[in-house]
Structure 1
Amino acid sequence: MPLDWDNVHLVVFDVDGTLYRQRPLRIKMARDILLHTLLKRDLNVVAVLARYRRIRERLGDEEAIDFERALISQTAAATANSPDRVRAIVSEWVERRPLKYLAACRYPGLPQLFAGLRRSGKSIGILSDYPAEAKLEALGLSANYVVFAGDEGIGVLKPHPRGLESLIATAGVKPQQTVLIGDRADRDGIVARRAGAQALIRSSKPIEGWRTFARFDDALFSPFLVSS
């Protein structure tokens, strides 16, 4: 079904996998981690990151409250590291080092779409399970509202709706006037439905029960894209 953009006042984007291509980023980061491992003869970074991601995914499934504390403590226990050491590894390899690669991995058409949304009077929001401000800057994008799952008063990962509900309330709009654009129906799609918002899922193939699109120059976004 077509989307009634006239009744949409807030467009919320997920970040990872939605604003940039994850596969080329993962290839670049895997190369960097391998080089670090060989030069330092240290497998600890690999072990910590692998366990951190698995635990994070599980805590999202469990909708664990205060997930960051549990995530760090459980990763530390599972890898025989101190919590401080886990935080340092995550800060370096998950939050800082990927930033230099993000611009090259950004999906085509996003700056034009963001500009078109603003011209049309739509507010732009960001809802991310990871810190997003530095990533947005690296991507050359900006938003009116940014909510990270670890923010004070949130503390829970998608698909729990608390983060999206907070963003909607801050923007001063109604849930039905909100569209969440993401890449995972099981996270972004579900959180939108639970908050009473609409969902758009970026996918190269149709997903039964969900409104999908393949590219940000899709006809779905034509009201906001200026023809050359």
Structure 2
Amino acid sequence: MYKDIRAVAFDIDGTLYPSWKLFIRMPLHVLKNLKLYIHFNKTRHIMHRTAPLADFYEYQARMLAEVSSIKSPRAKEIINDICYDGLKKFFKKVKPYPHAYECIKAMKDAGLKIGILSDFPPEQKGDIWGIRDLCDVCIGSEESGALKPSIYPFGILERKLGVPADKILYVGNSVKYDVLGAKGAGMKTAYILKGFKKLFNIKLPEADISFKNYRQLQKIVLE
């Protein structure tokens, strides 16, 4: 077992599936709501740098109202209808990375606890291609009142898993939010290579593990 880890946790977007598979299915949805998404992205950029909040969703709605012409009472509903629930139908046609489920199932069968920590509500992705049933913990960062790379969502993940941070391997696709965020919380990290890094097998120095596919990750972790 890789460095005596006792749990493996995963980001979802861009980690369990290629992001482009989602993007190619939603251009009309984005164009129809382009102004909202521009304002929502500005809001999320601010939220990534915000200290933990007692009511994340309420504050997010107020921030969206500030950067747009949307009235605050309506902003929360719009975010849910378009940015959260509004994307559910697209995920039904998105496929995960090859062997992602098999890799996670093998880790579960080996006695490791399995977790998910995403910056969007996991229920947006349904059963997460069957992976949700394998999870001991499945949470969105919003539940902690702060988004990654804040240590707070990682801290809640650690508490719910019941495993010390240094015995948890966190798997993600973002250097800033996943690798550095989890590392700052004391966890070990695995980074899924993409683009030129994947083509030329250029490992990410900030991560404990760099991998090109889920068969490779399974081998590194379990053998």
TM-score above 0.5, yes or no: yes
| Same amino acid, percent of matched pairs | 23
Instruction: Check the 8 A contact 2:106/2:218 in 1, yes or no.
Output: no
Q: Does 1:185 align with 2:175?
A: yes
Aligned letter for 2:52?
I
* Cα deviation 1:48-102 (Å, max 9, x = unaligned): 1111112202321x23332433321121122211234322332223222322332
Structure 1 distance, partners of 2:141, 2:221, is 29
Aligned letter for 1:65?
P
What residue number does 1:42 align with?
Answer: none
Aligned partner of 1:26 among 17, 23, 26: 23
Which structure 2 residues correspond to residues 101-140 of structure 1 after superposition, within 5 A? 101-102=90-91, 103-140=93-130
After TM superposition, give the deviation of residue 6 of structure 1 in Å: 5.9
Which structure 2 residues correspond to residues 30-41 of structure 1 after superposition, within 5 A? 30-34=27-31, 37=32
Instruction: Check the 8 A contact 1:99/1:134 in 2, yes or no.
Output: yes
What residue number does 1:64 align with?
Answer: 51
Q: SS state of the match for residue 29, structure 2? A: helix
After TM superposition, give the deviation of residue 14 of structure 1 in Å: 0.7
Structure 2 distance, partners of 1:217, 1:147, is 25
Question: Unpaired segments of 5 or more residues in structure 1?
Answer: 38-44
User: Cα 1:106–1:99, aligned 2, differ >3 Å: closer, same or farther?
Assistant: farther
What residue number does 2:64 align with?
Answer: 75
Instruction: Check the 8 A contact 1:99/1:138 in 2, yes or no.
Output: no
Q: RMSD between aligned alpha carbons?
A: 2.1
TM-score by length of 2: 0.84
Which structure 2 residues correspond to residues 71-220 of structure 1 after superposition, within 5 A? 71-102=60-91, 103-142=93-132, 143-151=135-143, 154-204=144-194, 205=197, 206-210=203-207, 211-218=209-216, 220=217
What residue number does 1:12 align with?
Answer: 9
After TM superposition, give the deviation of residue 182 of structure 1 in Å: 0.5
Could you tell which deviates more after superposition, 180-189 or 15-24? 15-24
* Cα deviation 1:182-209 (Å, max 9, x = unaligned): 0111111112111111000112213233
- Count of paired positions: 209
Which structure 1 residue ranges, 4+ long, deviate > 4 Å from structure 2? none
Structure 2 distance, partners of 1:180, 1:224, is 12
Structure 1 distance, partners of 2:52, 2:221, is 38
TM-score by length of 1: 0.82
